[in-house]
Chain A
């Protein structure tokens, strides 16, 4: 049985994980050939250089995915009581930092080439005893490196959603956009071919701009997740629906009057703290609390590390979004309980 920390993966996720690991290795294998082919043919083309750098950077996401899933599978220990799930977040930050750095460097590199009006030389290469214009070889290399990543990206994307794995998602997203790099490179080289010296630098600028854009976007999501933002969907765009579902599941218990939860994304799995206010006069039993927890955990495999805390009033201090939602039924003034402990004595 495969685990993420102490979370046992359901069959569906286990299959997805095995498949994702296979795809990560496949990606690495393909990238080794792509980097070699592009390096051998790139010559003095700026666009080819940018495309080569992107291929080189593409190693980072699948490698961080493999490392992160390996680390995240370790059970929580004395020194890491929350488990090693954050490895995913760290991998994501590392990958996005690499993208930002390389993207910025390449934007500067191709931009300055354009300003200085550098005319890229693309000459002849001898292949099997025949002289060939290197531009044709570069175009062949771009076609080869442009197609497989799109297929890999399409295969990875649904797995990333199933596993709630942001590194895998970033990887798939970049792969899917890889054909644009290849197309940009081809346009640049054809431009050189017909005597437009600037076409190559413009194509390179476009490619490096897209690397930088990918990097900044990923870095935002990665840093926000490490900063314990509320749980978001794997693409980082929307609030995760599980947050509402947990509250609804607990709220439907007959003895529960009000619920408020905070949910953070540990990487793959969530860490949930739910505060419940029992209906007036009800004495909460330990069995009821256990049942409440089990009900929430049954919702989704991602919910496992969870605490249910019975309180007199929902603690606004720990549930900052509460104010707006609770205004209707909560009396004005300072709430009691956790929010305003009486420290006067």
Chain B
């Protein structure tokens, strides 16, 4: 049994490594990042000033600007949905949203439903605790996730 597994593991590993030469690592299981290039980024914002705000349905705020800039690097337009966090998370789980912002932090309880990015900014909260600011993307869309993370880390974001 051990030997059979060894052979199988080597074969699968080799297959993945060789097969991987033609693809970028990581790749999205659902190909989200490729769809976004030159297309539309479906972004969700829940109101949480100063990170996100919305007047008369037009979203604004530091994180909204960041998402707009990110979309620009992909030659994409942004289509905004403004709603509560819970509803936006549900939409993202159904595959109807690509990026979600709203002053989320690394300790967000949504972490088991959507993927939280690497923190792009650390601030100090009202009680002196550290707050690690993150955005959310569909869980497992790792190419989109790493692309957004690399973009955010390059921005040198200041506290709004």
Q: Please, which residue of chain B has its CB at the minimum distance from the CB of A176? A: B2
- Write out, one digit per residue, whether chain A residues 114-149 have a CB within 8 A of any chain B CB (1) or not (0): 000011111111100001010100000000000000
Q: Please, which residue of chain B has its CB at the minimum distance from the CB of A199? A: B16
Flag if A124 contacts B27 (CB, 8 Å).
no
Flag if B13 contacts A133 (CB, 8 Å).
no
Which of A123, A184, A190, A191 gathers the greatest number of chain B CB atoms within 10 Å?
A123
Flag if A124 contacts B20 (CB, 8 Å).
no
Would you mind naming 24 contact pairs between A and B with Cβ atoms under 8 Å apart? A44-B115, A118-B139, A119-B29, A121-B141, A122-B26, A123-B115, A123-B145, A123-B146, A123-B149, A126-B118, A131-B153, A133-B25, A180-B2, A180-B9, A183-B6, A187-B13, A190-B16, A190-B17, A193-B20, A193-B26, A194-B26, A195-B23, A195-B28, A197-B140
Is A196 an interface position by the 8 A CB rule? yes
Is A160 an interface position by the 8 A CB rule? no
Determine the chain B residues whose CB is within 8 A of the CB of A190 once the complex forms: 13, 16-17, 20, 25
Chain A interface (Cβ within 8 Å of chain B)? 44, 118-126, 131, 133, 135, 177, 180, 183-184, 186-187, 190-197, 199, 206
Q: Please, which residue of chain B has its CB at the minimum distance from the CB of A190? A: B16
Interface residues of B in 16-67 (CB under 8 A from A): 16-17, 19-20, 23, 25-29, 31
Flag if A119 contacts B141 (CB, 8 Å).
yes
Query: Whole-angstrom distance between the alpha carbons of A192 and B16 in the complex?
Result: 10
Determine the chain B residues whose CB is within 8 A of the CB of A126 once the complex forms: 118, 153
Determine the chain B residues whose CB is within 8 A of the CB of A133 once the complex forms: 25-26, 142, 146
Flag if A192 contacts B26 (CB, 8 Å).
yes
- Inter-chain contact count A-B, CB under 8 Å? 99
Query: Whole-angstrom distance between the alpha carbons of A181 and B13 in the complex?
Result: 13
Flag if B29 contacts A184 (CB, 8 Å).
no
Determine the chain A residues whose CB is within 8 A of the CB of B146 once the complex forms: 123-124, 131, 133
Flag if B149 contacts A131 (CB, 8 Å).
yes
Flag if A123 contacts B139 (CB, 8 Å).
no
Determine the chain B residues whose CB is within 8 A of the CB of A177 once the complex forms: 2
Known: A191-B16, A193-B25, A195-B23. 20 other contacts (CB 8 A): A44-B115, A119-B141, A121-B116, A121-B142, A123-B115, A123-B149, A124-B117, A124-B118, A124-B150, A133-B26, A133-B142, A135-B25, A177-B2, A180-B5, A180-B6, A192-B140, A193-B26, A193-B142, A196-B29, A197-B140
Given the interface pairs A187-B12, A190-B20, A192-B26, the reply to whether A121 lies near B150 with Cβ below 8 Å is: no
Query: A194 is contacted by which of B25, B117, B153 (Cβ under 8 Å)?
Result: B25
Determine the chain B residues whose CB is within 8 A of the CB of A122 once the complex forms: 26, 142, 145
Determine the chain A residues whose CB is within 8 A of the CB of B31 once the complex forms: 195
Flag if B26 contacts A195 (CB, 8 Å).
yes
Given the interface pairs A125-B118, A193-B25, A195-B28, the reply to whether A186 lies near B13 with Cβ below 8 Å is: yes
Query: Whole-angstrom distance between the alpha carbons of A125 and B145 in the complex?
Result: 12
Determine the chain B residues whose CB is within 8 A of the CB of A199 once the complex forms: 16
Given the interface pairs A123-B117, A123-B118, A177-B2, the reply to whether A194 lies near B140 with Cβ below 8 Å is: no
Least CB distance from A143 to B in Å reads 12
Question: In which size bucket is the chain B interface?
Answer: 20 to 34
Query: Whole-angstrom distance between the alpha carbons of A171 and B116 in the complex?
Result: 39
Query: Whole-angstrom distance between the alpha carbons of A190 and B2 in the complex?
Result: 21
Determine the chain B residues whose CB is within 8 A of the CB of A197 once the complex forms: 29, 140
Query: Whole-angstrom distance between the alpha carbons of A43 and B9 in the complex?
Result: 23
Given the interface pairs A120-B139, A121-B140, A121-B145, the reply to whether A187 lies near B9 with Cβ below 8 Å is: yes
- Write out, one digit per residue, whether chain B residues 115-140 have a CB within 8 A of any chain A CB (1) or not (0): 11110000000000000000001111
Least CB distance from B140 to A in Å reads 2
Least CB distance from B135 to A in Å reads 11
Q: Please, which residue of chain A has its CB at the minimum distance from the CB of B114? A: A121
Query: Whole-angstrom distance between the alpha carbons of A51 and B144 in the complex?
Result: 27
The 3 closest A-B pairs by CB, nearest first: A119-B140, A121-B115, A195-B27
Q: Please, which residue of chain A has its CB at the minimum distance from the CB of B134? A: A123
Q: Please, which residue of chain B has its CB at the minimum distance from the CB of A136? A: B25
Given the interface pairs A123-B149, A131-B149, the reply to whether A194 lies near B16 with Cβ below 8 Å is: yes
Q: Please, which residue of chain A has its CB at the minimum distance from the CB of B143? A: A195
Determine the chain B residues whose CB is within 8 A of the CB of A131 once the complex forms: 118, 146, 149-150, 153
Least CB distance from B21 to A in Å reads 10
Q: Please, which residue of chain A has its CB at the minimum distance from the CB of B16? A: A190
Determine the chain A residues whose CB is within 8 A of the CB of B26 once the complex forms: 122, 133, 135, 192-195
Determine the chain A residues whose CB is within 8 A of the CB of B145 once the complex forms: 121-124
Query: B27 is contacted by which of A184, A186, A194 (Cβ under 8 Å)?
Result: A194
Query: Whole-angstrom distance between the alpha carbons of A206 and B6 in the complex?
Result: 12
